[in-house]
Each structure stands twice: as C-alpha cells, then as structure tokens.
C-alpha cells in the first residue's frame, strides 16, 4: 500500500452477529465473499485495495472462518450463510449490493442472488464453482460479445505486458472490475 492509499482508506472493523467485518473506503459498496469453506477475507488483500478510492469495500469472514465465531452447534449450511449475508446487507443499510465471489464465495453469491434477486445490483465471480468445459466456452463467447473493441484492446495489451513482466494480475483485475462495475453503468 502506498502513502497515497493510506490517506484515502477509511477502515472500520466491527463484529456483527459473531461475524468479523471490515469496511475500507467510501462510495458504492462491493461485498467480497471469500472461498473455502475455511478461507478468510484476507485472501483479497492487498490486491483489491486500490478499489477503495472509488468504492466501499466490505470484507467479512464467513461463520467459523478467520476471526468470525463458529456455529454454536458446529452445523453449517448455505442457507445460514445466505441469511447472514442478508443480515449484513441490512446492518450496512444497503438497498442493493454488488457481490464479488471467489470460488466457494461464487456459489454463495449466486445462491444469495437467487434468494434475494431484488437486493443484488451486480455480481462478479472468480474461480466460479460448477462451471463445465462447455459452460466455460459459452461463457467466454458471451463475454466476448459484451466487450467493446476498446475493452478487448486494453485487455490484450495488458496480457502482453503481463507476459513481459511489465504489468501485474492486479492491473488486469482492475480493468475487469472497471468494465463490469463502472462502464456498465454508463
């Protein structure tokens, strides 16, 4: 994190319903759903911190993960995780949420979105679970249709720079998030 990043970051750490929650930055919220089960919110850091200049980043450890409390009866379900995410949305007073799901978190994001479709603005999935080879091919074709020529050129240039060592995977991630969360609003 650079000195300029430190000046713009506003970190709030709360324990809500036994869930360890951190928020960084201001603006439209993006809720990050970590993989696992068993991972934790630190997986995303420091890679996504530059987004805190434009967005409120919401990280939480799912029940029994990281610094969050375990289930009282040591029983876990996706329904409980969806309910916890809905309580978190309400606690943060968010009308709609943007979800960023990684691996297991991608399943949680999709399940939340099918349970509360009216509460979801956008979803960004990485290492999505449940994708078949055919589904992945179709996804790629559909994604390609949605990208502008400028997006394609920008991503291609970043890929070349990455292979040369002149760019990072974080640069590519920031471009994707810009395409998915920012440009689509215009």
Render pLDDT for 141-160 as a digit per residue (tens, 0 to 9): 766 776 788 888 888 888 88
Q: What is the reported pLDDT for 17?
A: 63
Going by pLDDT thresholds of 50, 70 and 90, the confidence category of residue 179 is: low
Q: State the Cα–Cα distance between residues 179 and 29, nearest whole angstrom.
A: 16
Q: How far apart are CA 98 and CA 47, in angstroms?
A: 18
- Is the pLDDT at 185 greater than 90? The verdict is no
- pLDDT at residue number 136: 57
**In this structure, are residues 25 and 55 in contact, taking their beta carbons and an 8 Å threshold?**
yes
Name the pLDDT band for 163 (thresholds 50, 70, 90).
confident
Mean pLDDT (the chain) is 79
Confidence (pLDDT) at 154: 84
Better-scored residue on pLDDT, 1 or 14: 14
pLDDT reading at 51 higher than 80: yes
- Domain 1-130 belongs to what topology? Rossmann fold (3.40.50)
Chain region(s) in the chain for CATH 3.40.50.1820? 1-130
Q: Tell me what pLDDT residue 122 has.
A: 93
Centroid of chain to Cα 180: 12
Q: Computed from CA positions of residues 178, 183, 185, 186, in that sequence, does the dihedral angle turn out positive or negative?
A: positive
Which pLDDT value is given to residue 9?
A: 33
Which residue from 96, 88, 97, 79 is spatially nearest to 61, judged by alpha carbons?
88
Say if residue 116's pLDDT is above 90: yes
Question: In this structure, are residues 36 and 104 in contact, taking their beta carbons and an 8 Å threshold?
Answer: yes
pLDDT, tens digit, for every residue of 62-102?
888 888 888 777 777 888 889 989 989 998 999 999 999 99
48 pLDDT exceeds 60?
Answer: yes
The pTM of the full predicted model, rounded to 2 decimals, is: 0.66
């Amino acid at each position: 994190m650079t000195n300029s990043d430190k000046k713009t970051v506003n970190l709030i750490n709360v324990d809500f319903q036994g869930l360890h929650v951190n928020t960084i930055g201001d603006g439209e919220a993006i809720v990050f759903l970590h993989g696992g089960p068993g991972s934790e919110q630190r997986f995303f850091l420091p890679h996504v911190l530059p987004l805190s200049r434009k967005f409120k980043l919401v990280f939480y450890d799912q029940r029994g993960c990281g610094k969050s409390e375990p289930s009282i009866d040591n029983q876990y379900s996706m329904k409980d995780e969806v309910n916890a995410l809905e309580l978190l949305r309400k606690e943060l007073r968010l009308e709609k949420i943007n979800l960023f799901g990684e691996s297991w978190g991608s399943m949680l994001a999709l399940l939340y979105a099918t349970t509360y479709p009216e509460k979801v603005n956008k979803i960004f999935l990485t290492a999505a679970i449940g994708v078949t080879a055919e589904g992945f091919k179709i996804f790629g074709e559909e994604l390609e249709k949605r990208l502008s020529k400028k997006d394609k050129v920008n991503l291609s240039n970043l890929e070349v720079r990455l292979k040369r060592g002149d760019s990072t995977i974080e640069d590519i991630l920031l471009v994707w998030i810009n395409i998915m969360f920012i440009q689509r609003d215009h």
